[in-house]
Structure 1
Amino acid sequence: MGQKYKSIGVLTSGGDAPGMNACIRAVVRSASAMNIKVWGVEGGFTGLIRGKYKEMGNRDVGNILQRGGTILQTARCEEFRAPAGRREALREMNNAGMEALVVIGGDGSLNGAQKLAELGVPVVGVPASIDNDIYGTDMAIGVDTALNTIVDAIDKLRDTASSHTRAFLVETMGHASGYLAIQAGIVTGAEMVLVPEVATSVEDVAARVEEAYRRGKAHCIIVVAEGFSPPTNELAEAIDKLDHGFTTRVSILGHIQRGGSPTAFDRMLASRFGMKAVEFLVDGKLNMMTALRGREIVPVPIADVVSNARPVAEEYIEMARVLSL
């Protein structure tokens, strides 16, 4: 059964992802088209607790579609983890007349949304995480842009690696998930990909580097997810002690992967998610996350999302192994 809201809120939380602004824009304009007031919550769940809300209309979200980051800003909030913090957030929402909330973010943000749902707040979550580690959706906001940033960096590193006959260990983000590293390794033709999901010894890495040298390659590119053990710099030192022919260098891409103008894919996905989030609220599909399944946007219970993990597909792990030979 549908629900008519007078006002809803929207916030971004956790790590930023390119496309968040496009999603905020879609939420605001979709709600405005239904004569629903939108409160933008500044600073994630911290702003929710502090009552840092600003009314947003169509003009407030003009010229943000192409911008990376989030105009609402984001933060991690330890205070919200405690029941007292969540009760304070609910109090501030009630004081503002905020009747429902759209939460844009990753796994931690969706866990926060679930806690609010348990307090009776109508919520819809939107997956935004460059790691693409959120259960229930084929893709999250920001993944495509981050991957393209990594690919561009590796293509450039290959040029200098070939010029100096070097092996490069290129570290991508992915503390618990090797999705970005696997995808980047496949599409850039890396000689090896190292991810936390697959244990690989220093000796195996050194052997792959030596093999590339023996085959006459001018370079060797190894993509390493940040969650791989041992850490990238320690790994480089260890394999440099072994005679493999190449000089080894490390390039840690870091937070550059989070920034930049979102790709067309991310702008479209974020816009679709934002419109569907408002639609789900109005249609009474509450405590759901917008999820991309094939070409469709479907509702998935947030409780299911936060209680399950999304592993890297074995197919991609095998592709990376076979195509790097």
Structure 2
Amino acid sequence: MKPFRKISIGARTPDLHGGLRVAVGHLAVDEKNIEGSFMGTPNVSRQRMKELSELLNDVVKHGSRYPEQRVDLLVLPEVSVPHRWATFITRWAKEHQVGVICGLEHRIDDRSQAWNELLAALPFRGDNGSKECAPIRRLKKHYSPGEEFQLTNNCLLAPKKPKKSRYQLFQWRGASFAVYNCYELASVEDRCLFKGMVDFIVCSEFNKDVNYFSNIVESAARDLHCYVIQVNSAQFGDSRVVSPSRTETLNPLRIKGGDNQTFLTMRLPLQQLRSHQLKRYGLQKDSKEYKPTPPDFDIAEIEKRIRLGR
């Protein structure tokens, strides 16, 4: 069985070939809410829904006020949304045609297994121009030791690794990317699966060890030669976009601290990245935007990305 499966969404409307604008969500994940999900009493209060809705509405308002900065993809931290709100997130993504990647709080099954899942709600236009959205979940493959400790002491288990924990290569409206759930990115074998195949990877986190992950995401950006979108809970910080660039321009977007819920946006210039990757070292070495591609970087995979939906 392959370690990942390919998922194509909106292939007939490949409008993201040139680039896409990502919004990095900045909000604090309350550990009491995580514990509540463990105990089968998730916080689905009106106040919490109001706060989430305000963030989503602000993303829409930003695009209305600055049409050239309309957001294509919003990324939120791990375990930041109650799992029963997945349908609400999908409806919102469909209506506003803004993709959402977020971590769902643990869902407890009848065998006392705590399912930590990521949701990718990816909108697209149907053949007749209708608004559509594909909601796709994936079970976390590698639970961290700290997470397993919490589960064990709450008389719960990490699920066995079924097919639902296989990684996914998303081909969405002309853009190619993969998504990691926090501790998964610590596996060097797993984060190298998509070398040459992706324009960016997303890592949704609830992670206190920001220094450890800082080294990982910077290495991943250069080893895979792609953008890395890291979104962590606000109290830990270091949410950022990492570029496969020189040290001076490695972090074009970075946010940490503050009490308010907000987001920052950045456009990922996918066409510019791919054009650089198609060149040989002699032309890459003098680039001011990107570092040269690493050894054994397959140009055929770049060409596949360029041809998506065309």
TM over 0.5: no
More strand by share: 2
Query: TM-score interval w.r.t. the shorter chain?
Result: under 0.3
Q: Which has the higher helix share?
A: 1
Higher Cα radius of gyration = 1
